[in-house]
Amino acid sequence: MWLLLCIIVIGLCTLSSGLFFLRPRPLAYLLDLSDLPFTQGRKREPVNGLALNDLDAFIQSEFERQPAPGAAVALVHPGRVTWTSTYGVSNVTDQTPVTSDTAFALGSVSKTVIAVALMQAIETGALALDTPINTVLPFAVETPSLEQAVPITVWHLATHTSGIQDRTLTYMQCYQSTDVRDQLGNFLNAYLVVGGAHYNANGNFLSAAPGTEIEYTNIGSALLAYVIECATGIPFAQYTHQKIFEPLGMKRTAWFASDISASTDVAMRYSRLKRPYGHLGCLTWPDGFLHSSITDLSRFLAAIMNKGELDGVRILDAESVDNMLADQLAHIEQEDGEMQALIWNVENGLMGHNGGDPGVFTLMYFDPKTERGAIVLLNSMTGKSIRAAGNILKQVLVAK
C-alpha cells in the first residue's frame, strides 16, 4: 500500500509540474492576475465584470472543458455569503451531483483555520507569538546545525521561518488510504527529535537560524496545530470544532472525512484520468486535510472579512484579525507583490491561501479594498483545473 500511494503521489506531482501539494505556488505564478482592476502594474485592460446571472454561464462554459468532475464557487462579502453555485459531480461512478452541502477536501486552505485557532489561543493567554515552542511541547525541537541554540517560537511556525522543512520522501509517506487519528504528536516527535525514526538533521532542517529564512513547511504548520493543542489542553480537531466550526454554523466541516454526516456527500478526489484516489488521510492532517462545503467555507471567509464576526457571533476580536493578516516579514526579501502574514498569504493585494493535493485544488482569496472574496473548490488538480480555477476566481472577484 505504501508503494502504491507513493506512485500515485509522484505521478500527480509530475503531472502538476512540481511538488505543488508540498509547497503551494504563489498565486501570481498559478494565475494571470495582471488584468484584474485592483492589481498593480496590469498589462491589459481589466476583466469586464459579469452580472451574477451571466457569471454562472461563464463558469459553465469553463466547465465544458472538463477541468474537474465537480466544483463549487462562492462570492463573499464582509459578514455575508452573496452567491454560491455548484457544478458537475462529486462522484463519477454514482454521478452524484455536487450541491451546496457537498464537502470538498481543502488542501492547504486548511491552514487558515490553524491561524484562527492560534489567534484565539493568544486572546485567551494560552500562547503568545514569542512563546518558545519547547515550553509547551512534550518534546524538545532544536535546529541541529546551530552552535548556539535559537529557540523556535510560535511566530516562527506561523510565518514559515522556523527552519523546519518537509523532507519529500518522508512527507509522502504521511499520506494514508484512510483517515489517520491520534498519531500527529508521535510523527512530529519521530521527525523532529534526535533519535526519532524519521529524524534527519540535514533533511528536516535548514542550516539557517529561525526567523532568518522563509521555507514553506507543511510539517511546521502541523506542528503549530499541535502546539495549540498542547497549550490549550484540547485536541486540535475538537478545539476547532468547538471554537470555530460550531459557532459559525459550519455543520458540514470536519478534519476527517469519516466524521462528516452520512447525509452529507464528500467529494471524491480524482486524477487527471478521472481515477479515484479515495478519501485520503495524513499523519500531519492539520496542514491540509480539512473537509468543508462551499456554504460552510464561505461563512468562515465572511467572518474573517467582517473582522471576526458573523451573524452576531464573534470568533476573533477585530484587532486579532488585523494582526493575523498583517505583513510579518518586512525584514526578509520576498517576491514582488507578496507578503507573509500569520499563515495567510497576501499576494498582489489579495489575502488568502490556495491548496493543492492529490485530487484537490482550492482557492480562497479576498480583496480588502473592494471587500470582495471568492472561493473555488475542485475535486481534481491538473493543468486544466488550475487554469479554470484562475479564470473563475477573476470573474467572481469582479462580478457585478
Distance CA 251, CA 383 (A): 32
State yes or no: pLDDT of 191 exceeds 80.
yes
pLDDT band of 52, cuts 50, 70, 90: confident
Is the pLDDT at 342 greater than 90, yes or no?
yes
pLDDT at 42: 32
CA–CA separation, 241 and 248 (whole Å): 10
Supply angle C-alpha 296, 399, 71, rounded to 5: 45
Q: Burial code of 27-56, b = ≥16 C-beta within 10 A, e = fewer?
A: bbebbebeebebbeeeeeeebebbeeeebe
**What pLDDT, on the 0 to 100 scale, is given for residue 41?**
35
Residue 71: is its pLDDT beyond 60? yes
Give me the domains of the chain, ranges plus CATH numbers. Answer: 2-398 (3.40.710.10)
Residue pair 79/305 in contact (Cβ under 8 Å)? The answer is: yes
Q: At 283, which amino acid appears? A: L
Positive/negative CA dihedral, 60, 63, 69, 72 = negative
pLDDT at 147: 74
- 3-state SS string over 287-344? HCCCEEEHHHHHHHHHHHHCCCEECCEECCCHHHHHHHHCCCCCCCCCCCCEEECCCC
In the predicted structure, residue 27 carries a pLDDT above the cut 90: no
| Of 80, 129, 123, the residue nearest 316 (C-alpha) | 123
Angle between helices 111-124 and 318-325 (to 10 degrees): 130
pLDDT tens digit sequence for 136-152: 999 999 999 887 789 99
Q: Report pLDDT digits (tens) over 309-320.
A: 999 999 999 999
Q: Which three cell numbers stand for residue 93?
A: 461512478
> What's the whole-model pTM score?
0.90
Q: How confident is the model over 27-56, as a mean pLDDT?
A: 55
Q: How far apart are CA 135 and CA 41, in angstroms?
A: 46
pLDDT at 9 over 70: no
Of residues 11 and 335, more confidence is placed in: 335
- Give the mean pLDDT of the chain: 88
- What CA–CA distance (Å, rounded) separates 376 from 371? 17
CB-CB contact of 213 with 220 (8 Å): no
What pLDDT score was predicted for residue 341? 96
Cα 384 to Cα 378: distance, rounded to the nearest angstrom: 11
> What Cα–Cα distance (Å) separates residue 139 from each residue in 167, 189, 193, 196, 227?
20, 7, 7, 11, 11
Lowest-pLDDT range of 79-83, 221-225, 256-260, 370-374: 256-260
